[in-house]
Amino acid sequence: MSITAEALETAAPPVTAITTRAAVCRGPGEPWEVTELELDPPGPNEIRVKVIAAGMCHSDDHIQKGDAPMRMPVVGGHEGAGIVDAVGPGVTRAKLGDHVVFSFIPACGKCRYCSTGHQNLCDAGKNAATGEFPDGTFRFHKDGEDFGGLCVLGTFSQYTVVSEYSVVPIPDDIPFEVACLVGCAVPTGWGTAVHAAGVRAGETVVIYGAGGVGSNAVQGASLAGAQRVVVVDPVEFKRTMALEHFGATHAFATAEEAHAFIVDATWGELADHAIITVSALHDEVIHNAINIVGKCGQVTITAVGNGWIEENPGMLIGFQRRIQGAIFGGCNPLFDVPRLLSMYKNGHLKLDELVTNTYRLETVNEGYQDMLDGKNIRGVVLLEH
Ligand SMILES: NC(=O)c1ccc[n+]([C@@H]2O[C@H](COP(=O)([O-])OP(=O)(O)OC[C@H]3O[C@@H](n4cnc5c(N)ncnc54)[C@H](O)[C@@H]3O)[C@@H](O)[C@H]2O)c1
Ligand SMILES: [Zn+2]
Ligand SMILES: [Zn+2]
């Protein structure tokens, strides 16, 4: 069969491997290092994205510090937004030129969990700690070495190749630097309050830690109609932002001050919810959270770290308290990401206020130091092209 000149003109050019600059971590405790990597073309059901903005979540810092184990070397970043740059065979979720947000847990839409309203628990998310694709291969390479992507994403890179299950298309008019946060911080925080805790109108909620995730738990609790949204954070800037922008009604520097306030304000009934979104989970904050909720109260844990639940079960039995873990805020990314962006466009959800400072790949280490120094609600890396 002969190929016509017209068919040749309209045929898509072959997608080849490219090079990309990325911030990588080579081992626990090693700083982020900017290097050039080879990036494979997208395979079947894979998408290459030109990353425009990437959020700096505390979880990447846990992995870089070695608090949370992950196969190394790894390209950092699991919050991101960009433009579809190439598609592999069989892709249906997005097309060339689409704007997308990465979902830090993929959503296949078909597994038991996706099909029962728990996309945050999708079976396709099982490789988050290795960064490898389901067939055991990697897309980033350098000098014969394979580099994983954090959450099989790696958004601290000019370009990345991901499963189509890991993207959610978004409208073109959403700024990338806020869109990127709707891949983790925003749904994780908002969903921790709204889905995992299930905050309801009139309730009293105490949120420990008002950073990138916690600020959105504050917004979620407030939008759910809580009468008291009480923040505990040692950093004055975080408390001020929570009170002035995100809907907190009260803010305290210490758990003791918050406890005294809750006892007094609730006439001794205590809080309905405690939400833990501190930098690193620890025993004391779990203990404080259990003690600040009253009868039928719930403690919802989203922070990760080395904290242990060391409590007499009587503390749970007597007041019928519950402890609930949450990943991705119990969200369904294919539903929640567009909904949260719609709420942003309608002025209900504050996203611009979350972005405190922007960085380049070369300043990722400074950005994480700023986060640890309490300077940022969220730092965002703007990728240069
Ligand atoms: N479960 C999930 O799906 C999920 C997703 C994203 C992030 N996380 C985890 O959530 C946590 C928060 O992430 P982030 O990006 O918002 O971090 P962040 O550094 O932006 O915010 C943490 C906040 O906690 C405050 N803090 C520290 N110690 C505290 C204490 N003892 N009491 C009260 N506040 C305290 C800090 O001042 C800061 O404002 C991290 O552990 C992160 O790894 C979990
Ligand atoms: Zn995250
Ligand atoms: Zn699934």
- Å from CA of 14 to ligand 3 middle: 30
Indicate if 33 and 177 belong to the same structural domain. Answer: yes
pLDDT at position 2 is 46
Task: State which residues form the domain around 254.
Answer: 186-327
Indicate if 22 and 149 belong to the same structural domain. Answer: yes
CA distance from start to end of the chain? 41
pLDDT digits (tens, 9 = 90+) for 125-135: 999 889 999 99
Distances in whole angstroms, Cα of residue 144 to Cα of each of 15, 37, 140, 147, 287: 21, 10, 10, 10, 48
d(Cα 148, Cα 309) in Å, to the nearest integer? 32
**For ligand 3, a single-atom ion, which residues have Cβ within 5 Å?**
108, 111, 114, 122
Instruction: Count how many domains the chain has.
Output: 2
Question: Which atom of ligand 1 sits closest to the CA of residue 326?
Answer: 1
Which residues in the chain show pLDDT less than 70?
1-13
d(Cα 381, Cα 189) in Å, to the nearest integer? 20
Question: Which atom of ligand 1 sits closest to the CA of residue 58?
Answer: 15
Indicate if 168 and 200 belong to the same structural domain. Answer: no
pLDDT at position 11 is 53
pLDDT at position 14 is 76
Indicate if 195 and 290 belong to the same structural domain. Answer: yes
Mutate to test the pocket of ligand 1, among 59, 190, 216, 256 (most ligand atoms within 8 A of CB): 59
With b for 16 or more beta-carbon neighbours within 10 A and e for fewer, the 292-302 pattern comes to bbbeebbbbbb
pLDDT at position 8 is 46
Q: Does any domain span residue 57?
A: yes
Where are any strands of DSSP class E within the chain?
Answer: 18-25, 33-39, 46-55, 74-75, 81-87, 99-102, 140-142, 145-149, 159-163, 167-170, 204-208, 228-232, 250-252, 271-276, 293-301, 322-325, 355-359, 378-382
Give Cβ neighbours of residue 92 (< 8 Å, ≥ 6 apart): 164
Cβ(159)–Cβ(18) below 8 Å: yes
- Å from CA of 42 to ligand 1 middle: 34
Enumerate residues lining ligand 1, CB below 6 A: 57-59, 62, 184-185, 188, 208-214, 232-235, 238, 277-280, 285, 302-305, 326-328, 371, 374
Indicate if 116 and 191 belong to the same structural domain. Answer: no
Report the candidate in 20, 51, 22 with the shortest Cα–Cα distance to residue 362: 22
pLDDT at position 12 is 60
Indicate if 40 and 161 belong to the same structural domain. Answer: yes
Q: Does any domain span residue 5?
A: no
Q: Does any domain span residue 338?
A: no
Indicate if 318 and 216 belong to the same structural domain. Answer: yes
Which CATH number covers residue 82?
Answer: 3.90.180.10
Q: Encoding tokens for residue 245? A: 């922008």
Which CATH number covers residue 270?
Answer: 3.40.50.720
Question: Which atom of ligand 1 sits closest to the CA of residue 329?
Answer: 3
Indicate if 229 and 311 belong to the same structural domain. Answer: yes
Indicate if 171 and 299 belong to the same structural domain. Answer: no
Q: Does any domain span residue 207?
A: yes
DSSP string, 128-180: TTT---TTS--SEEETTEEEEEGGGT--SBSEEEEEGGGEEEE-TTS-HHHHG
Q: Does any domain span residue 76?
A: yes
Shortest-distance Cα residue to atom 13 of ligand 1: 58
Question: Which atom of ligand 1 sits closest to the CA of residue 304?
Answer: 41
Indicate if 197 and 169 belong to the same structural domain. Answer: no
Indicate if 83 and 169 belong to the same structural domain. Answer: yes
Indicate if 73 and 201 belong to the same structural domain. Answer: no
pLDDT at position 13 is 64
Q: Encoding tokens for residue 37? A: 């990597």
Q: Does any domain span residue 132?
A: yes
Q: Encoding tokens for residue 145? A: 């070495």
Q: Does any domain span residue 337?
A: no
pLDDT at position 274 is 99
Report the candidate in 22, 31, 74 with the shortest Cα–Cα distance to residue 369: 31
Using left for φ > 0, alpha for ψ between -120 and 50, and beta otherwise, residue 352 falls in alpha
